[in-house]
Structure 1
Amino acid sequence: MRMWTRKNALGGVKFKSEMDGREVAVLRSLVESVVGLLERRGAEAPTDDLAELTGMRSGNTSAPDDPTLARLLPDFHRPEGADTAESDALAEQADLNGALRSLYEPDIIDIKRAAGATILSTLPNGGGKIVLTREQADSWLTGLNDVRLALGTTLGIDADTPDQLEEDDPRAPHLDVYHWLTWMQDSLVQVLMP
C-alpha cells in the first residue's frame, strides 16, 4: 500500500492511495469478518412490544460474551472509585449499562457496519487505486479502527506486547498485519488533518 495523499480536485478534496491485490484480499477478509460479527450481534437483539408499537429499535441489554465483540461494543458506564466488591454497585452498573446498551447499541452497530460497507465498496477488485471523499475517508478511519480492535483483541495485544514476536509465536504473522493496519490508519489520519 502506498501512503495516503490529499489532492484538491474540482469536485472537492480527494484522498488517494493504492493497494495490490493481496492487500485488498486481506483487508476485505478482515472487514467482512468484523461486519459479520456485528450483523450477528444485531440479529440477536430481542424485540419487545413497545419497540413494535413505536418503531423504536431496542438492542441487547447484556454485554457480548465474545471478547472481540465486547471490545467493539464496550460498556457505556464504568463508575470511578466504586468498590467492585459491592453487589449493589455491580447491580446498579449492570442495570445502567443494560439500559444504555438497549437504547444505543443498534445505532452503533449500524454506524460500524456502514463504515465497513464503505471500505468494501471502495476497495478496488484485484488491487489498484483508491480515491475517497472526506466522508468516505472518515468511514475508513472508523472501519480500520474496528478491524484493528478486533484483531488486537484476538491476538491479545496490550501495552506490553513487543513490536516483534518470536518467529515460532503463532501470532507473529498476524502482528505484522496489525502493524500494517496501524500504519494505514495513521497515514490516513495525517492527510485528513488540516
Structure 2
Amino acid sequence: MTRRPRRVVPAVLLALVLLAAAVVVIVSLVQRLTGARELVSYDRVAAELHAITWGETPVLVAGVIAAALGALLLIAALWPGRTLLVPLVDEEGLRAGVSRRGLRAAVRESAETVDGVTARGVRVRRRSVRVKAATDRVESAGTAEAVADRVSNRLREIGTRSVRRVRTSLQTPETGGGA
C-alpha cells in the first residue's frame, strides 16, 4: 500500500538537455542543407573531434563527467522517495491510506479545536507529527498538552498506527516563542 512518487525532476531535466542538443543539431543540419551560416559548424566540430585521440585529457574528463552524471541519475532513480500515502489500520483485509496533505489538514483542524489555539504549522514525518501552534491567551498552562492529546485522539480515530509521537510547541503572547 506504499505508493512512492515518480522521479519526475531528473527525467525532465535529462529530457530538456537532450531536447536542446537535438534542436541544435537539427537547426545546424537544416542550415547546412539550405546553405545558410550554421549555428554550430559541422566541419569545425568534426575537425576538432578527429584531432583528439582517446588518450587525451578532454576525452578522460568527458568520460568521467558522463559516468558521474549517469551514476547520479541511476541513484536518483533507485533511491526510494517519501511515501505519498500514510497507511491506515489493516482490518479484515482492507488496505487503505490517507495522503500526507489530508493528514496534515486533519491534524491542523483537530489542533484548532482547543480553545484559543490556531495551528501555524503541521509537519508529518514517518513516525511523528509536529504541531506548531499559537494562542492569544496569557494563561496557557496545559494548552500544549491539550493540543497533543486532541491530535493523538484524532490520529487514533483516523487509524494511523505508524505515528507514535506527537510533539507540540506553543507560542504565547508572553513568551513570543515555543513553550
TM-score, normalisation: structure 2? 0.24
Higher helix share: 1
- Higher relative contact order, structure no. (Cα contacts within 8 Å, ≥ 6 residues apart): 1
Higher strand share: 2
